[in-house]
Amino acid sequence: MINIRNSSRLAVWALVLVLCITGCKSKKKAMEASRAAEKAKMEQEASARKQKEQEELKRKEAEEKAAREAAELKEREMKARESAPKTKLSQYFDAIASSGSVASANNSITEALALFASPETPVLIIISGSGAQKDYDRPTTIKAYLNYLKDQKKNINHIESLQVDPSGKVTEVELRKN
């Protein structure tokens, strides 16, 4: 009887032991599955962050490219705006200096003055210069300079630079002696 009791006790303990072992394995598998799911979630979040960073970088590059293109376009427009009056003014200088009569010279002077903000717009003539250092002749006004061209009948200076106001009128002329 004792053997039966002991064997039933032994069977109960064996059953408890088997349940514990299988229970521990299930817990271990569950923990491993949980860790794998957490790892997959972290990898997915990292991937999403990386993708978001790449999209942000592409967006910034596109904005920078657009800003560069806008700056280049603005620079080209400024050069075109500046070169148009420069070309017209050179043509007027040549027309005034080579006009056959005083009346035609005066007509050209009147037309040329329309390019300027005022008949008193300063004209600076560079007589020498090296680098940023420039030596100027006595300053004059555009009206006086145009009349000088009419009287001398020769244009010995070329336009170095012009300053133009927002309305497109010339506010300063810088000439260089040839």
- Domain map of the chain by residue range? 70-177
pLDDT cut 70: percent of the chain above it:
81
User: Which is higher by pLDDT, 64 or 129?
Assistant: 64
User: Which is higher by pLDDT, 20 or 69?
Assistant: 69
- Token duo for residue 57: 């970088």
Cα 94 to Cα 55: distance, rounded to the nearest angstrom: 58
Q: What is the pLDDT of residue 178?
A: 76
Q: What is the pLDDT of residue 82?
A: 60
**What average pLDDT is seen over the chain?**
84
pLDDT digits 0-9 by tens, 118-149: 999 999 998 887 777 888 889 899 999 999 99
pTM for the predicted model, two decimal places: 0.55
Is the pLDDT score of 90 beyond 80? yes
Phi-psi region of 131 (alpha: psi -120 to 50; beta: other; left: phi over 0): left
User: Which is higher by pLDDT, 75 or 113?
Assistant: 113
Q: What is the pLDDT of residue 108?
A: 92
Angle between helices 2-97 and 102-113 in degrees, nearest 10? 160
Q: Give the pLDDT band (50/70/90) at residue 86.
A: confident
CATH number of 70-177: 3.10.450
User: Which is higher by pLDDT, 175 or 2?
Assistant: 175
Residues pairing with 125 in the sheet: 175
